[in-house]
Amino acid sequence: MKYCTNCGAELKEGSEFCPKCGTKIGAKKPVSNGAVVNGGVQPKSKMAAGLLGIFLGCFGVHNFYLGFTGKAIAQLLISVLSCFILSPVSAIWGLIEGILILSGSMNVDAEGNPLGE
Ligand SMILES: [Zn+2]
């Protein structure tokens, strides 16, 4: 027995439309991109966060992106306050975090929401 995806009414085998609400059977509703996860919170992109960490880690951009603002500011300040003398410290820190993010070792943002692809 099949059921209407819209109203849940029982459907006769082979029927094309729901007798109750008229929904076309078999016509799947288009799934919007960024399907609803965690009550509508759009997951942040693991790929974006990882690449930001690898390329812009010395500015803490990936941590700003993920919501780890304290860590992000630390990385940014290490670079800026040292006139970029110490920016390799932040850059390597960000690079490592970027790799951890891409490898799945860091897979949640600051609010604990899992990262998307
Ligand atoms: Zn129906």
The pLDDT tens digits for 29-72 are 555 555 444 456 689 999 999 999 999 999 999 999 999 999 99
Sign for the CA dihedral angle at 72, 73, 78, 80 comes to positive
Torsion of CA 94, 100, 104, 106, to 10 degrees: -70
What is the CA(21)–ligand 1 centre distance, in A? Answer: 4
What is the CA(53)–ligand 1 centre distance, in A? Answer: 48
What is the CA(5)–ligand 1 centre distance, in A? Answer: 7
Q: What is the pTM of this model?
A: 0.64
What is the CA(70)–ligand 1 centre distance, in A? Answer: 51
**Which amino acid is residue 33, in one-letter code?**
N
Question: What band does 4 get if pLDDT is binned at 50, 70 and 90?
Answer: confident
Other residues' Cβ atoms within 10 Å of the Cβ of residue 44? 21
The pLDDT tens digits for 67-117 are 999 999 999 999 999 999 999 999 999 999 999 999 999 999 999 999 998
What is the CA(89)–ligand 1 centre distance, in A? Answer: 60
